[in-house]
Copies of this chain bind each other. A is one copy, B any other.
Amino acid sequence: MIIIMDPKTEIQNINKVQECIESNGLGVYSSRGESYLIIGVIGDSGKLDSNKLLRFDGVQKVLKVEEPFKKANRLFKPDDTIVDIEGKKIGGGNLGIIAGPCSVESEEQIIKIAKDIKAAGGNFLRGGAFKPRTSPYSFQGLELEGLELLKKAKKETGLPIVTEIMSTDYIDQFVDNVDVIQVGARNMQNFDLLKQLGKTNKPILLKRGLSATIEEWIMSAEYILAGGNENVILCERGIRTFETYTRNTLDLSAIPMVKRLSHLPVIVDPSHAGGYWYLVEPLAKAAIMAGADGLMIEVHNDPKNALSDGQQSIKPENFRALMDKIRVCAEIEGKIIK
């Protein structure tokens, strides 16, 4: 952190800023000329609140130099994190292809789709049991019954389960029954939830919030890592912009950027990003070529009668065709799906 001060400010103002920094256990260096006066912080300036420094007399600007994340920072852990879920891996050259319906609707539905996904080569099953819906009058999911159905589908296919948690009340059930716990975009900054998940050892799939910056997204992962849980997978699913032709704007630039900043794996959800089934294939292929460590794709055997998000789900036969293309992309990129 660097503090720019008015070069004409009185000496006691400079002293106050330095004292404030030192009282946080940090060192100070300063550099002064006719037209400049700079105070730099030595040590971990994450302990300092830049906003607070702005209130000192004579301070003109406070510039951050370091990234605020530590455990998630590639600087301090250069090697890719590989999350291992019952032998299936995500990160470090391993692609996780997570597919399934938006909502779990019935035993028959979820088992049928799970079998189709496995046959096509997907290696994880997704399905919503608890559903975050904008309207209180929309279908809210089968809840705990949905978890049971997912377990049955796992038993039939061996596919590990990925499903979203919406309340800290159910953490125990999720830890017991689910293989990857998903935190949805709307809960990305539900810090209470993040803290509690940090105390578990379950892999967490952390979706990017609709208006979250890359820094905020990684900082939310940092909450989980700081609690001791290092199994975090990030998921880009589109951000909110002014464009209305698509549901959200998929930010693929974030993939190489996050991978540069952090060692955590990053996957992409082309279904929620685009919002239309016909955008899934081009965006899925593009995501792999941009460096994603996997995909999360909505597949439904009867999209017309899906209880949620039918317009963005593809059919099992389309998923099969898509997997063929994804395998080609994976090969070019030197990555494996297993």
Contact = CB atoms under 8 A, between A and B. Distances in A.
B42 A38 contact: no
Nearest to A300: B55
Interface string A273-287: 110011100110111
A304 B13 CA distance: 12
29 contacts: A33-B42, A35-B42, A38-B40, A51-B309, A52-B305, A54-B311, A55-B304, A60-B65, A63-B63, A68-B134, A68-B137, A132-B191, A135-B219, A136-B227, A239-B242, A241-B251, A243-B254, A245-B257, A246-B253, A249-B253, A250-B251, A252-B282, A252-B286, A256-B278, A256-B279, A283-B290, A286-B287, A288-B289, A328-B332
Contact of A166 (B55, B191, B243, B312): B191
Q: How large is the interface on A (under 10, 10 to 19, 20 to 34, 35 or more residues)?
A: 35 or more
Interface stretch (A104-112, A147-155, A172-180, A206-214): A206-214
Contacts of A31: 29, 31, 38, 40
A190 B191 contact: no
Q: Determine the main DSSP class of A at the interface with B.
A: mixed
A220 to B, nearest CB: 8
Interface string A217-254: 00100110011000000000011111111100111111
A226 B283 contact: no
Contacts of A290: 282-283, 285-286
A253 B241 contact: no
A222 B167 contact: no
A317 to B, nearest CB: 15
A86 interface: no
A239 B245 contact: no
Interface string A251-278: 1111111001100000000000110011
Contacts of A245: 213-215, 254, 257, 261
